């Protein structure tokens, strides 16, 4: 195996460890989870109940011991029981993963199908009508808040026109609005990146060489330009998944989508920390894995990394 | 005697006039950038003079005029008839939406400006140390940065905000710290590039002190990239702050902010959709303005990129 | 003998955000079979634009203007390269005219093996299959003296040294046995020791294959050994053209004289200092209406600032665009 991939795997493990430390220490040092859990109550709660809760959750032990316990369990995916539902947090989260993954991957696919051809065409005919359209769309996409777009789409298509449902995830009709929101919000970055990386490659000397060899236009575009322009794109596709999972937090809340995003936004309101910790960790795990995967793909396309040390 | 020679005529105007002319030419060349700047100036104006230009107190409740639709809406749908007394309508508590939008720009701008300032100062210091010293220190910095950038941003912010609780200072701190890695990365790469340059090597070879090299030779290279990045990041932070507000995690609910207004409008989206429109539009216009201005600044600051864009 | 390529009144201008750039103005020259013509001038004088416009490598977008003719005689028919269809000029590129660029580092596609990159034009222009193309690729690599050619076809550009990459570029350029090879400062980016090897390689190839070479350079010292004729360019205009010996012995344009004066000479007494030309080339945002060199010329007089000098024949196929060229020429006799 080559050094580059090896380093990336080590780095990914560090990311995950970093997230676990962050989640743990933030909660235990900055605040007291037990206090926060009870703080929102209107009714006075007797100290005995609080102490009992603290003991049952293991929050009475010294901090280093708590940390070791937390890490030992977290490594096997155990984040303790949900404060609210008294069920294992990891179980509740895993149940929700498929819904979120379906939503985000479909959205990513839609975004890619629209933005890559558009970005390429915009770059090739730089300054033309398609370029203007692409740039305007990118600007709108980057300037429209996902959470607001969701509300707008609901009030138009679900309330005014009554064409599409505003919540749930039963059939394909339920997918249209949330997917449209998420796809549109990640399109801007993808269009801009495709456009600029194709423009950059167009300026490269090796493209001039390809032209001077008398190759056909299609050959130049597919074999010389697109392959090279795809290199930065591959990494960004991995990264935009992180953004999509973030956007899912809003979209799932707005459209009552039974995924991780809604679970966490409910948990945030309830200060249900095992759930928040679990989702934070699992989302990072997904993002890290996808990024690793894109790195593997990258090494397949780019010989400089494949044979480099 | 000077003969008219082939080539450009000499420019005899004073220096400041030439610079002004260049500036006007740049504005004319990229109308989008000028438009963006106009929006940003307007936004700053609103935020600074909010208490002078608004007709109402932002938290003044008037239940009898609650849920007033925007002035140009047709009559009859609700209990309260629309009027120009409340151009954008009111919320269920009867607070004037226009007033609250204008006051909301204060929160957004404060978070944007101070968040970016904090992120930028942290980024500059850490990036310059890493890029200039290199070695072990740099390795550690790079790894920490990569770890931070590897975490989905929004999730990170949500987790921290949940723990810290709702206050303006907390929001600024959260964004200032979580946004710093981007600045570290840019600073580091500029410093690394500058260190390779002949003039820095020359300064080192004549025995100039480290801090002098950093401030006199390397810092000027950073001005362009940092200003550009700062503008774009400001728009991102304003976005994210409103998002946090939407989830009920930003400034306290009593403070009029665009995010809080959206959060409040969520329950009424079916019956009073205009409540959600205004804060959304405000965020959008702000983001458009800052993005256009950021692109424009990048074009000016980095002429190499200009070619790639056109 | 009939010329292979006749360029007449070639002008190229670009529209940029800062105004129209007049990159090339009324350049004319002939290129004969088997000869090496050097285009010499400072960087930015329009040498590269001249040759790129011949192959239609100047993007045809509004604001870019090209005029003049460039008649290419391929032995069967004569055709004007500037007026050819996109499809027609494509067949000339790589097929009839090969191109070697300045920077071998970036001129090869980083994600394709060098074998694929050499085989591409072969398969395109000669319509041969993959195996045949591979056989010829190995031949070509041997021809440009790359050792272990059969193994090297499967490696990527970044695994080769700069000199080796430039050899690959040359192999690509000569792959389809072109009539003309355009070498755009092929040695500038290389080590001095490698430079000589590349110069030798191109010289030998041009003899073996009866190639006409257009050699672009800013370095007059390189020209002496390899060129048959020299065209000196300044600010987008051709100011002097002559056989190489004639030009070195009787430089008749003040700019050429300056260039030769700025050249280190091994015979020069150590007390003499290198002479440099004062001033810098003019901005090219206006079409020339007077002598382009006048503002830097020590001989300049009123007429030079008012009128554009034409190339005048000085005998011996030596032409110079200067009002006092004949006087300057006669100084040597």
Question: pLDDT tens digit string along A136-162?
Answer: 899 889 889 888 898 888 888 887 787
* Separation CA A158–CA A177 (nearest Å): 9
Residue A132 phi, psi (nearest 5): -60, -45
Range of the domain at B166: 29-48+95-305
Residue of B nearest to C19 (CA): B8
Choose one of A44, A75, A106: the last residue of a domain: A75
Contacts of C95 in chain A (CB under 8 A): 214
Q: Are residues A133 and A42 in the same domain?
A: no
Question: Which pLDDT score, from 0 to 100, does residue B180 have?
Answer: 92
Question: Which pLDDT score, from 0 to 100, does residue B8 have?
Answer: 44
pLDDT per residue as tens digits for the range B20-53: 777 777 777 677 888 888 999 999 998 888 888 8
Whether residue B274 has pLDDT greater than 90 = no
Q: Which CATH architecture has domain C5-109+172-330?
A: 3-Layer(aba) Sandwich (3.40)
Tokens of B92: 């269920």
* Separation CA A285–CA A289 (nearest Å): 6
- CA B31 from chain center: how many Å? 20
Choose one of A43, A75, A107: the last residue of a domain: A75
Which is it for the CA torsion A198, A199, A200, A206, positive or negative? positive
Question: Which pLDDT score, from 0 to 100, does residue B256 have?
Answer: 87
The model's pTM: 0.79
Count of CB pairs separated by less than 8 Å, A with C: 75
Whether residue B18 has pLDDT greater than 80 = no
Beta bridge partners of C215: C38, C183
Strand order, beta sheet including C78-80: C19-31, C5-16, C65-73, C78-80
Average pLDDT over residues B217-235: 85
For chain A, the domain total comes to 2
Average pLDDT over residues B249-267: 86
Whether residue B9 has pLDDT greater than 50 = no
Q: Which of B6, B8, B310 sits opposite C289 (nearest CB)?
A: B6
List of chain C residues with pLDDT < 70: 262-275, 333
Measured in angstroms, the CA of B112 and the nearest CA of chain A are apart by: 15
B197 has a chain A CB within 8 A of its CB: no
Residue of B nearest to C302 (CA): B3
Question: Which pLDDT score, from 0 to 100, does residue B118 have?
Answer: 96
Residue B215 lies in a domain: yes
CB of A70 within 8 A of CB of A27? Answer: no
Count of CB pairs separated by less than 8 Å, A with B: 144
Average pLDDT over residues A85-103: 88
Range name among A119-133, B10-24, B45-59 with the lowest pLDDT average: B10-24
Measured in angstroms, the CA of C305 and the nearest CA of chain B are apart by: 6
C295 has a chain B CB within 8 A of its CB: yes
Q: What torsion do the CA atoms of A22, A23, A24, A25 make, to the nearest 10 degrees?
A: 40
C331 by Cβ neighbours in 10 Å (0-12 / 13-18 / 19+) ranks as exposed
- Give Cβ neighbours of residue B16 (< 8 Å, ≥ 6 apart): none
* Separation CA A236–CA A143 (nearest Å): 19
C64 has a chain B CB within 8 A of its CB: no
pLDDT per residue as tens digits for the range C235-268: 889 999 999 989 888 888 989 888 887 666 555 5
Question: Which pLDDT score, from 0 to 100, does residue B310 have?
Answer: 35
* Separation CA C236–CA C25 (nearest Å): 5
* Separation CA A34–CA A53 (nearest Å): 8
Beta bridge partners of B207: none
Q: Which residue has the higher pLDDT, C213 or A77?
A: C213
Contact yes or no for B288 and A143 at CB 8 A: yes
Q: Where are the beta strands (DSSP E) in chain C?
A: 5-16, 19-31, 36-40, 65-73, 78-80, 97-100, 180-184, 212-217, 229-234, 237-243, 312-313, 319-320
CB of C107 within 8 A of CB of C98? Answer: no
Whether residue B7 has pLDDT greater than 60 = no
Q: Are residues A70 and A122 in the same domain?
A: no
Contact yes or no for B284 and A31 at CB 8 A: no
* Separation CA B290–CA B284 (nearest Å): 10
Residue B184 lies in a domain: yes
CB of B199 within 8 A of CB of B238? Answer: no
CB of A187 within 8 A of CB of A114? Answer: yes
pLDDT per residue as tens digits for the range A8-41: 888 888 888 888 888 787 777 666 777 777 766 6
Question: Which pLDDT score, from 0 to 100, does residue C228 have?
Answer: 92
Contact yes or no for A205 and C92 at CB 8 A: no
Instruction: Mutation target for B interface from C14, C15, C17, C63: give the one with most B CBs within 10 A.
Output: C17
Q: Are residues A282 and A194 in the same domain?
A: yes
Whether residue A306 has pLDDT greater than 70 = no
Question: Which pLDDT score, from 0 to 100, does residue C42 have?
Answer: 84
Strands C319-320 and C237-243: antiparallel
* Separation CA B6–CA C282 (nearest Å): 7
Q: Which of A60-69, A82-91, C173-182, C215-224 has the highest mean pLDDT?
A: C173-182
* Separation CA C230–CA C221 (nearest Å): 12
Label residue B307 by pLDDT band (50, 70, 90).
Answer: very low
Beta-carbon-side half-sphere exposure of residue C238 (alpha carbons within 13 Å): 25
Share of chain A above pLDDT 90, in %: 10
Question: Which pLDDT score, from 0 to 100, does residue B218 have?
Answer: 78
Q: Are residues A149 and A295 in the same domain?
A: yes
Q: Which of B6, B8, B306 sits opposite C290 (nearest CB)?
A: B6
How high is the mean pLDDT of chain B?
80
Residue of A nearest to C52 (CA): A212
C85 has a chain B CB within 8 A of its CB: no
Measured in angstroms, the CA of A230 and the nearest CA of chain B are apart by: 17
Burial C54-79 (b: 16+ CB within 10 A, else e): bbbbbeeeeebebebebbbbeeeeeb
* Separation CA B39–CA A54 (nearest Å): 52
Whether residue B308 has pLDDT greater than 50 = no
Q: Are residues A102 and A158 in the same domain?
A: yes
What is the secondary structure of C250-302 as a DSSP string? ---SHHHHHHHHTS--TTS-TTSPPP--SS-PPP-SS---S-TTGGG-TT--H
C240 by Cβ neighbours in 10 Å (0-12 / 13-18 / 19+) ranks as buried
Question: Which pLDDT score, from 0 to 100, does residue B192 have?
Answer: 83
Strands C78-80 and C319-320: unpaired
Measured in angstroms, the CA of C286 and the nearest CA of chain B are apart by: 7
Contacts of C110 in chain A (CB under 8 A): 206, 228, 302-304
Q: Which residue has the higher pLDDT, A165 or B75?
A: A165
User: By C-alpha distance, which of B168, B136, B154, B127 is closest to B254?
Assistant: B168
Tokens of C248: 């070195």
Question: Which pLDDT score, from 0 to 100, does residue B305 have?
Answer: 47
Range of the domain at A8: 2-75
Residue B17 lies in a domain: no
Sole residue written with tokens 């249209």: A176
Q: What is the DSSP letter of C93?
A: B
Label residue A111 by pLDDT band (50, 70, 90).
Answer: very high
For chain B, the domain total comes to 1
B280 has a chain A CB within 8 A of its CB: yes
Q: Which of residues 13-42 of C touch B (CB under 8 A)?
A: 17
Residue C19 phi, psi (nearest 5): 125, 180
Range name among B111-115, B192-196, C304-308 with the lowest pLDDT average: B192-196
Question: Which pLDDT score, from 0 to 100, does residue A272 have?
Answer: 82
Residue B35 phi, psi (nearest 5): -60, -45
C79 has a chain A CB within 8 A of its CB: no
Question: Which pLDDT score, from 0 to 100, does residue A49 have?
Answer: 79
Label residue A3 by pLDDT band (50, 70, 90).
Answer: confident
Average pLDDT over residues B230-245: 90
Q: Which of B162, B243, B276 sits opposite A250 (nearest CB)?
A: B243
Question: Which pLDDT score, from 0 to 100, does residue C57 have?
Answer: 83
CB of B104 within 8 A of CB of B279? Answer: yes
Q: Which of A214, A216, A223 sits opposite C95 (nearest CB)?
A: A214
Residue of A nearest to C106 (CA): A205
A303 has a chain C CB within 8 A of its CB: yes
Whichever domain contains B40, its CATH number is: 1.10.3720.10
Residue A62 lies in a domain: yes
Contacts of A23 in chain B (CB under 8 A): 159
B158 has a chain A CB within 8 A of its CB: yes
- CA A160 from chain center: how many Å? 31
Average pLDDT over residues A246-263: 88
* SS3 assignment, position B263: helix
A210 has a chain C CB within 8 A of its CB: yes
Measured in angstroms, the CA of B17 and the nearest CA of chain A are apart by: 32
How high is the mean pLDDT of chain A?
83
Contact yes or no for A206 and C108 at CB 8 A: yes
Question: Which pLDDT score, from 0 to 100, does residue C38 have?
Answer: 93
Q: Which residue has the higher pLDDT, A84 or B309?
A: A84
Strands C237-243 and C229-234: antiparallel
Sole residue written with tokens 């400041």: B16
């Amino acid at each position: 195996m080559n050094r580059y991939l090896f380093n990336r795997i080590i780095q990914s493990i560090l990311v995950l460890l970093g997230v676990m430390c962050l989640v743990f220490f933030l909660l235990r040092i900055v605040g007291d989870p037990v206090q926060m859990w009870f703080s929102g109550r209107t009714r006075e709660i007797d100290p005995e109940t609080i102490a009992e809760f603290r003991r049952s959750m293991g929050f009475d032990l010294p901090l280093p011991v708590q940390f070791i316990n937390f890490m030992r369990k977290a490594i096997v995916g155990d984040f303790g029981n949900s404060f609210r539902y008294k069920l294992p947090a990891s179980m509740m989260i895993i149940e929700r993963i498929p819904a979120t993954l379906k939503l985000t991957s479909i959205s990513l696919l839609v975004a890619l199908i629209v933005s890559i051809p558009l970005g390429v065409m915009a770059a090739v005919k730089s300054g033309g009508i398609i370029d203007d359209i692409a740039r305007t769309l990118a600007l709108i996409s980057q300037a429209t808040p996902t959470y607001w777009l969701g509300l707008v789409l609901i009030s138009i298509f679900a309330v005014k026109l009554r064409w599409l449902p505003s919540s749930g995830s039963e059939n394909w009709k339920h997918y249209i609005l949330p997917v449209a929101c998420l796809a549109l919000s990640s399109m801007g970055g993808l269009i801009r990146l495709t456009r600029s990386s194709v423009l950059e490659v167009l300026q490269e000397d090796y493209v001039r060489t390809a032209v001077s060899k008398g190759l056909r236009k299609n050959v130049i575009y597919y074999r010389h330009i697109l392959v090279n322009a795809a290199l930065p794109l591959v990494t960004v596709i991995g990264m935009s998944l992180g953004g999509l999972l973030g956007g899912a937090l809003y979209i799932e809340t707005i459209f009552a989508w039974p995924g991780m995003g809604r679970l966490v936004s409910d948990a945030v309101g309830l200060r249900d920390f095992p759930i928040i910790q679990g989702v934070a960790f699992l989302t990072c795990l997904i993002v890290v894995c996808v990024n690793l995967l894109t790195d593997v793909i990258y090494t397949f396309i780019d010989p400089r990394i494949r044979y480099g040390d | 005697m000077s003969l008219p020679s082939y080539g450009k005529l000499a420019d005899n105007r004073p220096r400041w006039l030439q610079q002004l002319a260049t500036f006007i030419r740049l504005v004319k060349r990229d109308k989008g950038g000028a438009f963006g700047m106009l929006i940003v100036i307007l936004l700053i104006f609103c935020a600074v003079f909010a208490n002078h230009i608004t007709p109402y107190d932002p938290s003044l409740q008037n239940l009898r005029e609650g849920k007033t639709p925007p002035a140009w809406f047709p009559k009859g749908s609700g209990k309260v008839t629309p009027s120009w007394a409340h151009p954008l309508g009111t919320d269920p508590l009867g607070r004037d939406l226009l007033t609250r939008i204008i006051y909301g720009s204060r929160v957004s701008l404060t978070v944007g400006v101070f968040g970016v300032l904090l992120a930028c100062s942290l980024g500059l210091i850490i990036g310059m140390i890493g890029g200039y010293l290199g070695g072990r220190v740099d390795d550690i910095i790079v790894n920490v940065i990569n770890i931070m950038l590897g975490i989905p941003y929004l999730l990170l912010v949500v987790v921290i905000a949940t723990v810290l609780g709702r206050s303006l200072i907390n929001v600024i701190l959260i964004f200032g710290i979580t946004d710093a890695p981007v600045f570290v990365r840019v600073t580091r790469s500029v410093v690394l590039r500058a260190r390779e340059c002949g003039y820095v090597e020359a300064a080192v070879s004549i025995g100039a002190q480290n801090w002098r090299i950093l401030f006199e030779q390397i810092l000027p290279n950073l001005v362009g990239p940092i200003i550009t990045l700062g503008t774009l990041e400001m728009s991102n932070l304003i976005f994210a702050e409103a998002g946090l507000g939407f989830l009920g995690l930003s400034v306290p609910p009593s403070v009029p902010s665009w995010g809080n207004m959206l959060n409040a409008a969520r329950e009424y989206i079916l019956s009073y959709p205009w409540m959600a429109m205004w804060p959304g539009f405000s965020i959008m216009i702000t983001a458009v303005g800052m993005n256009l201005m950021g692109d424009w600044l990048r074009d000016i600051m980095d002429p190499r990129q200009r070619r790639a864009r056109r | 003998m009939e010329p292979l390529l006749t360029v007449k009144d070639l002008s190229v201008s670009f529209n940029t955000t800062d105004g129209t750039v007049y990159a090339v103005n009324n350049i004319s020259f002939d290129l004969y079979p088997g000869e090496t013509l050097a285009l010499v001038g400072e960087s930015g004088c329009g040498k590269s634009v001249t040759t790129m416009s011949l192959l239609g490598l100047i993007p045809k977008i509004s604001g870019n203007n090209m005029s003049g003719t460039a008649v290419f005689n391929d032995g069967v028919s004569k055709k004007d390269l500037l007026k050819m269809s996109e499809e027609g000029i494509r067949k000339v590129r790589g097929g009839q005219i090969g191109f070697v660029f300045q920077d071998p580092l970036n001129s090869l596609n980083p994600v394709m093996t060098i074998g694929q990159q050499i085989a591409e034009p072969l398969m395109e222009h000669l319509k041969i299959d993959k195996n045949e193309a591979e056989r010829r690729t190995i031949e070509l690599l041997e021809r440009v003296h790359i050792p272990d050619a059969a193994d090297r076809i499967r490696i990527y550009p970044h695994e080769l040294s700069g000199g080796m990459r430039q050899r690959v570029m040359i192999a690509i350029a000569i792959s389809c046995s072109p009539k003309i090879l355009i070498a755009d400062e092929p040695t500038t980016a290389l080590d001095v020791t490698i430079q000589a090897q590349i110069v030798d390689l191109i010289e030998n190839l041009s003899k073996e294959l009866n190639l006409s070479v257009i050699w672009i350079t800013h370095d007059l010292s390189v020209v002496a050994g390899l060129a048959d004729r020299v065209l000196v360019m300044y600010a987008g205009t051709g100011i002097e053209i002559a056989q190489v010996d004639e030009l070195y012995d009787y430089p008749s344009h003040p700019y050429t004289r300056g260039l030769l004066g700025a050249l280190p000479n091994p015979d020069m007494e150590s007390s003499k200092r290198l002479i440099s030309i004062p001033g810098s080339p003019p901005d090219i945002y206006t079409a020339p209406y007077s002598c382009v060199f006048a503002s830097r010329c020590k001989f300049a007089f009123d007429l030079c600032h008012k009128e554009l000098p034409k190339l005048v024949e000085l005998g011996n196929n030596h032409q110079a665009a200067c009002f006092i060229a004949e006087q300057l020429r006669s100084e040597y006799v």
